[in-house]
Amino acid sequence: MAFQLGGQTYAVNASGADITGFDPSRDRLDFGDISVHGLILGKLVDGTAVLVNPWQDSDYQRILDHNGNGISWNQLTLENFAPVGNEHLREDIGGVMSWELGIGPRNADTVYIRSHEYGVHERLENFDPQTQKLNFLYLGTRERLSLTDTDEGLLISVDPSSQSLLLVGVKRTDLYAGNLEFHFDQVMEDNLEEPFGVAEVAVSLVSRELLLTPQSIGGATTDGYQVRSGQLVQAAETLTINEVDHSMHHSPHHNALDHSAIGSDMSTGDAVLASNGSLSLEVSGYLYWGGMSGKLTLTNCGNTDLDGWSVSFVTPHTNFQSWAGDAQIESLADGTNRITLTPASWNKSIAIGQNIEVSFNAQSVGLPNSGSLNSELFFADGQTQMPSGGITVEAEPMQPQESETSSTPTTTDFEPETGTNDDAHLLEVSSMAIANGSKRIVGYFEEWGIYSRDFLVQDINVEDLTHINYSFFDVKANGDVNLFDSWAATDKRYSAEEQVSRTFSADEWAALDDSRRSSYTSGSEFTTRTNGNGSVSVSGVPVGWDVNGELAGNLRQFALLKQLNPDINLGLALGGWTLSDEFSLAFDDVAGRERFTDNVISTLETYDFFNTVDFDWEYPGGGGLSGNASSDQDGANFAATLKVLRQKMDLLETRTGEDYEISIATAGGQEKLANLNLPAIDAYVDFYNVMTYDFHGGWESVTGHQAAMTADAGGYDVVTAIQQFRNAGIAPEKVVLGAPTYTRAWGGVDSGEKLGYGELGSANSAPGSYEAGNYDQKDLVTGINNGSYDLAWDDDSKAAYLYNDQEQIWSSIETPSTIAGKAAYVDAAELGGMMFWALSSDSSGEQSLIGAASDLLRGGVSPDLVIARSPGFDVVFGGDGQFNISDFTTLA
């Protein structure tokens, strides 16, 4: 039945009277800004849908029809839900609705744990922890999950519904972390993995995008798209947590406050008083079991508009957390806590007479487990100084500091600027979006990444890329082009869950031409599934081990990826650091060049999803591994080889109707570029992926920037590298600027005057993500967020780096902010785009470097929006003391 307009909207209240007279064909439920802390969904034994107080065993609101009969969740659709403000509540509603309506995954080897069904107690025989999975997609984020080893087996139970599952003959320590599947928020914010005795990083994250999700208020996003494979490690033998603690895993901000912005003695419990401007602060909210969700209302009672503020207050409550500002917590001698709060970048301004609200969570001390929160309950005794119950504090307008910018790069002894991640005086941004959306975004897929890194073709975020290069094919001395790891490339069998896939919206699916739609629905290579929202998911069909002669492995996944995304350009990359030993021999005579180019054409015909041949010869003329063949004629021979290849590729284009490109992954250093013979090869090259990184690294004993923009004493920087192409007369649109998604790191580094920059160290003393001296960017972002690393900006060199004082580790790093600057440089210099090595080491979500470049260079997103989602700098050295987009564009 179609949903009709004109019905009633019922405001829900878990502790309120039953909702009566509800008509599923026209009425709606309004959850407003209610948090999942105070309301979850349930289903009674008779099937009646109920809205439940999560902290009481029998406190719920039933949904009844005109005759007093219970409405069930499967009678409703998403149209029965008004927009829902709380993200976790949207996820929980979607989980319940999807389960009840039969929407979402139901894999045969997976047991799906739910939490909303009163009176449901399941018993499962013959569960195999090694091969079968426990999936929590449909489980609520705030239910009280507990595990108990009983004489019969492992009992998994959830309160307040008391729903349970008994795994007969299984103990908690039999479970494998990688076979526990959660969506992102269940682990990263709600700690649902804790009762299992496994680490957060060990469990699997699965997508909830195929589940229903109510509309949000104001277009807010809902997590759950993040995926990763877990680790096949077993649970800890000893465990003290029997029921999940919903406090955060990590502090959401990296706090390093600049105390100079606070104008009073911080050793007392009194309110902070500064020089001018006045704020009143009041608290409202509600209490739940062990905690609170509140709002701080800050009102500007002064006579000056505020552009920056700080407040300090004392509370007996603990674990204060806010996503709307940076909080520093100081434990006082009497057991209370002083909270000093400064704004985020988007809420620092308060006009005269106006107010802002700052949401927060905290763990309560000595308060009831339900009810309303107010200022009297929140602040420590003696802190309420206003008759209204608020606390008066003072705010100081933050004016930009005057500075004089040097016109030439220097290595000055500037005192560092310090502050919170959002301090206005450390940051100046541009709101102008990049107009040209035709830039290339190139990423490299590592063949070996499927092993310890567990990065599969299905993990590639294709939407952010224009080109994906498969790394690497091997070039032999006789001109042969071979697979390097044939098992990974063509033989490995991927399961159904590991296949590449794409979900088309209902409109996208309808817009496909008949032949393409038929290729997904009628052939043997894909399966399709229609989802609850009308979208259609298309996934590859696995190749069985009993099937011989069919392409499998990574290259089959690439073939399927191309069919699902016809506009993506897939490249075969030749050589790389390890496989560049025989290029020089293959290209040094006519016979070798003919054999090599014939082999390339044959490879393009065999793997007809490739459109680009990418040369990663490291390096013509030498400078790579010590055993590599090299010659002073490498540059000339390379030009001769490319000329023959271009002729043969043109003939292939005539036969196939396809377009084929040649790209070169070039060095960034001057001496290696000089051997490349740029003027001679350029006529045959479509674009250059310039490796403007690895300028400094663990082969040196002093810390240095891996990918600085400018001012390197030896010329190892971006600006110098790009100038080589200009000097050679290369069209700028053919030059693609490279950036690393990995870092170069040293250990045993003293802080010195600039947080370890320019200090002695050893790469072997920095453990790295997979090898000493190198970290994945995504791993160090975690270190920024949890406060173990300070993030610094060298405003002379235009380069970011990290320092961990406790472990004495120094590392280069790129962030979305630095990529925003480099993308602005690419635009201003009219370059052809950006390239990234490599896909597996990049972050996902908002901290993705590739995503930042794509948003800026192709998506029309302005730099300030990308910078806003990036970690802020704790300290700035040199320059004018600010991170400015204009600092990048003026270098163009």
- Contact (Cβ atoms closer than 8 angstroms) between residue 140 and residue 35: no
d(CA 780, CA 565): 32
Structural domain boundaries in the chain: 9-97, 101-219, 259-394, 500-541
Q: In Å, what is the CA distance from 333 to each residue of 256, 259, 267, 379, 381?
A: 22, 20, 10, 16, 15
Lookup result for tokens 């409109």: 507
pLDDT surpassing 80 at residue 396: no
pLDDT at site 425: 37
pLDDT surpassing 80 at residue 413: no
pLDDT surpassing 80 at residue 402: no
Write a three-state SS string for 560-619. Answer: HHHHHCCCCEEEEEEECCCCCCCHHHHCCCHHHHHHHHHHHHHHHHHCCCEEEEEEECCC
Which residues does 90 contact at the CB level (< 8 Å), separation at least 6? 84, 213, 214, 216, 222
Averaged pLDDT for residues 36-42? 83
Q: In Å, what is the CA distance from 844 to each residue of 443, 459, 741, 848?
A: 14, 10, 11, 5
pLDDT-based confidence at residue 144 (cuts at 50, 70, 90) = confident
Averaged pLDDT for residues 675-689? 97
pLDDT surpassing 90 at residue 778: yes
More confident residue, 547 or 738: 738
Q: What are 747's strand-pairing partners?
A: 762
d(CA 198, CA 178): 10
pLDDT-based confidence at residue 57 (cuts at 50, 70, 90) = low
Please choose, from the candidates 697, 753, 719, the residue with its C-alpha nearest in 3D space to the C-alpha of residue 705: 697
Q: Which of 329-343, 635-649, 662-676 has the lowest mean pLDDT?
A: 329-343
User: Does the predicted TM-score (pTM) go above 0.75?
Assistant: no
Cα-only R_g, the chain = 30
pLDDT at site 43: 96
Quickly count: other Cβ atoms within 10 Å of residue 122's Cβ. Answer: 14
Averaged pLDDT for residues 398-425? 38
DSSP for 662-718, please give it.
Answer: EEEEE--SHHHHHTS-HHHHGGG-SEEEE----SS-TTSSB---SS-SS--TTS-SH
Segment 320-371, tens digit of pLDDT: 877 567 888 988 888 889 898 888 766 788 888 888 888 787 888 888 766 7
Burial (CB count <10 Å: 0-12, 13-18, 19+), residue 311: buried
pLDDT at site 48: 97
DSSP code of 68? S
d(CA 319, CA 303): 34
More confident residue, 546 or 519: 519
Segment 683-719, tens digit of pLDDT: 999 999 999 999 999 999 999 999 999 999 999 999 9
What tokens does 696 get? 């400094």
Which residues does 546 contact at the CB level (< 8 Å), separation at least 6? none
pLDDT surpassing 80 at residue 36: no
DSSP for 327-354, please give it.
Answer: EEEEE-TTS-EEEEEEE-TTS-EE-TT-
pLDDT surpassing 80 at residue 489: yes
pLDDT-based confidence at residue 278 (cuts at 50, 70, 90) = low
- Contact (Cβ atoms closer than 8 angstroms) between residue 745 and residue 810: yes
Quickly count: other Cβ atoms within 10 Å of residue 609's Cβ. Answer: 18
- 3-class DSSP state for residue 190? coil
Averaged pLDDT score across all residues of the chain: 86
**CATH code assigned to 259-394:** 2.60.40.290
- Contact (Cβ atoms closer than 8 angstroms) between residue 156 and residue 172: no
Quickly count: other Cβ atoms within 10 Å of residue 190's Cβ. Answer: 27
pLDDT-based confidence at residue 388 (cuts at 50, 70, 90) = very low
- Contact (Cβ atoms closer than 8 angstroms) between residue 874 and residue 791: yes
pLDDT at site 416: 55
Residue 858, phi then psi, degrees to nearest 5? -130, -20
Lookup result for tokens 């999807």: 98
Please choose, from the candidates 218, 547, 427, the residue with its C-alpha nearest in 3D space to the C-alpha of residue 866: 427
pLDDT surpassing 80 at residue 418: no
DSSP code of 149? E
d(CA 33, CA 131): 41
For the chain, the residue count is 892
pLDDT at site 288: 62
Q: Which of 69-73, 296-300, 491-495 has the lowest mean pLDDT?
A: 296-300
d(CA 306, CA 298): 11
Averaged pLDDT for residues 772-780? 96
More confident residue, 36 or 161: 161
Quickly count: other Cβ atoms within 10 Å of residue 501's Cβ. Answer: 20
545-579: string of b/e by CB count within 10 Å (b at 16+)? eeeeeeebbbbbbbbbbbbbbeebbbbbbbbbeeb
Averaged pLDDT for residues 238-250? 41
pLDDT at site 259: 27
